[in-house]
Amino acid sequence: MTAKPDKYDIVIVGAGPAGSITAKTAAAHGSNVLMIEKRQAIGDPVRCAEGVSKPQIKEHIEPDERWIAAEVKGSRIYAPDGTSVELSEDVSGAEVGYTLERKLFDRALASEAALAGAEVCVKTRATGVIIEDGFVKGITAMHLGEECEIRADIVIGADGVESKIGRWAGINTTLQPSDLETGAQFLVADIDIDQDFCEFHLGSAIAPSGYLWVFPKGNRSANVGLAIGGDVCSQGDRPIDLLRNFVEERYPNGKIIEIVVGGVPTSGPLEEMVTDGLMLVGDAARQSDPLTGGGIINAMDAGRIAGEVAAQAISEGNVSKARLQEYETIWRERHGKRLKRSLAVKNRFVTMNDSDLNNLVHSVEGIDFSTMTLFEMLKVLVRKNPKMLLSLRKLFV
Amino acid sequence: MIGVNRYKCGYCGACVSVCPIGAVELVETWIEIADDCTECGTCAGVCPIGALEVLK
Ligand SMILES: Cc1cc2nc3c(=O)[nH]c(=O)nc-3n(C[C@H](O)[C@H](O)[C@H](O)COP(=O)(O)OP(=O)(O)OC[C@H]3O[C@@H](n4cnc5c(N)ncnc54)[C@H](O)[C@@H]3O)c2cc1C
Ligand code: SF4
Ligand code: SF4
């Protein structure tokens, strides 16, 4: 479908989780919404390990077996020397997490946006923003090879890690290499793994300034991937090289049926996420968790708040920065503290050597984490390792 | 000049996010480098798969 009217209340750039939830919410609140996506197929190729918490995803959408590849009960974290601790975020003992099929999940979210009344236009790439009288008034775009102008009272950048919308409107979104985790992942088929648990492996040889994950994907397969600090990535030791080494050694008979590459912002959220006539959501606003790299739920939460605030602003006829700021304020109230803590832990974590990491895991060996959240586990770690984690004490009292 | 090996590139956009001047663009399945590139090499540094190279 081509973009017909050249004026909308809201134009959303990017049809990932952030864009689709924003579009769905704003359309449901009565705004005239267009969501554009540069790819010709929403959700493809994937750049994600597809792990989410079950209760959190349920806050946004009714789970549907079409886009759930597997369910897990918990996680095991492995120190460089192989010692492990087990973590499961659920008190009742039921499954706690999903591995999604993001190709289908992202599409399901986009069709929810469409069903709520949003227009969707694929193979359409934003190429710039239109600024008049200091306000963002729309975008320029390329649709099926044709340049066009799309005017809107509010432009929402949901354009992911490679976001340009913010930059074009004068918000500096450039990441330092150390503020990016760069990663690679194989979907490995026909392997023997415990389908009930996610694995996380730490260590400088496996994933310097990062970690390696094994997320069950059902039917003897798993997403096996790793991400490392962008500043420690070098020729010969890139994510793809490190991953190949691990997979060859650990799953010599596994078959790789998909390759994923990608970067996730670990800078912590942008200092400003809105300006006159413009809002940024999801990875575009660097809202992913700096410690875990998880960004799907954060993107969806932001999309919901942004969609509501944008629709209200439209109905009031006020799209100034001051008005749109409400989105940022609510978002920070809900997520700011947690992400700040994550950033502090990540900053400490990347300075640890293998023996520090071994000591950390040993310090909590045998402790029953089965009813603890990640936050509670970090709290125990800080208590058990007062010296090593001195700088984090204030954050975990 | 920055060389892009499009046979290697997995079009993930990681390189776009670190360019200090916004000279990298991910157009669906390929990477374009604008003429104002300063050849600082930051983009090439973070590529997970090694598809970018500063060519002398
Ligand atoms: C290797 C890896 C593993 C990860 N694992 C997890 C995980 O297990 N769990 C988790 O929660 N998170 C994970 N993440 C993070 C997660 O994938 C992101 O945080 C999430 O996708 C962010 O959603 P988004 O909607 O903000 O951006 P995206 O999902 O990136 O969507 C942005 C969309 O905008 C489009 N776009 C960009 N520029 C333009 C333009 N100019 N015009 C039109 N469209 C444009 C893109 O094509 C894309 O479709 C991982 C990331 C990586 C790289
Ligand atoms: S970081 Fe590498 S793989 Fe990703 S888009 Fe850039 S050149 Fe391609
Ligand atoms: S070399 Fe530097 S300026 Fe040129 S595209 Fe890469 S990051 Fe940008």
Q: Report the residue of B12, B32, B43, B52 to disrupt the A interface, i.e. the one with the largest count of A CBs within 10 Å.
A: B12
Q: Which residues in chain A have Cβ-Cβ distances shorter than 8 Å to B30?
A: none
Query: Cis peptide leading into A45, omega within 30 of 0?
Result: yes
Q: Can you tell me which residue has the tokens 């009288």?
A: A133
Would you kindly state where each structural domain of chain A is located, as residue ranges?
7-45+104-175+267-346, 51-101+177-265
Rounded to 10 deg, the angle between the A296-316 and A17-28 helix axes is: 30
Among chain B residues, CA nearest to A244? B49
Would you call B3 an interface residue with chain A, using a CB distance cutoff of 8 Å? no
Output Rg (C-alpha) for chain B, integer angstroms.
10
How many residues comprise chain A? 397
Among chain B residues, CA nearest to A263? B14
CA B56 – CA B37 distance, rounded (Å): 14
* Burial class of residue A1 (count of CB atoms within 10 Å of its CB; 0-12, 13-18, 19+): exposed
What does CATH list as the number for A7-45+104-175+267-346? Answer: 3.50.50.60
Q: Which of B4, B15, B19, B35 for a ligand 3 pocket mutation test, highest count of atoms within 8 Å of Cβ?
A: B19
Q: Is the dihedral of CA A235, A237, A239, A241 positive or negative?
A: positive
Q: Which of A163, A122, A162 is nearest to A144 (CA)?
A: A122
Q: Which of A52, A123, A288, A305 for a ligand 1 pocket mutation test, highest count of atoms within 8 Å of Cβ?
A: A288
Q: Which residues in chain B have Cβ-Cβ distances shorter than 8 Å to A244?
A: none
Give the count of beta carbons closer than 10 Å to the beta carbon of residue A384.
Answer: 15
Q: Which CATH class is domain B2-54?
A: alpha beta
Cα A160 to averaged position of ligand 2 atoms, centre (Å): 14
Among chain A residues, CA nearest to B47? A182
Would you kindly state where each structural domain of chain B is located, as residue ranges?
2-54
Q: Among the atoms of ligand 1, which is closest to the Cα of residue A14? A: 34
CATH fit for domain A51-101+177-265, picks 3.10.450.240, 3.30.70.100, 3.30.9.10, 3.40.50.720: 3.30.9.10
For A264-274, the pLDDT digits (tens) are 999 999 999 99
- Evaluate whether A113 touches A35 at the Cβ level (below 8 Å): yes
pLDDT band, residue A1 (cuts 50/70/90): very low
A92 pLDDT more than 60: no
Q: What is the pTM of this model?
A: 0.96
> Mind listing the pLDDT tens digit of every residue in chain B (56 residues)?
999 999 999 999 999 999 999 999 999 999 999 999 999 999 999 999 999 999 98
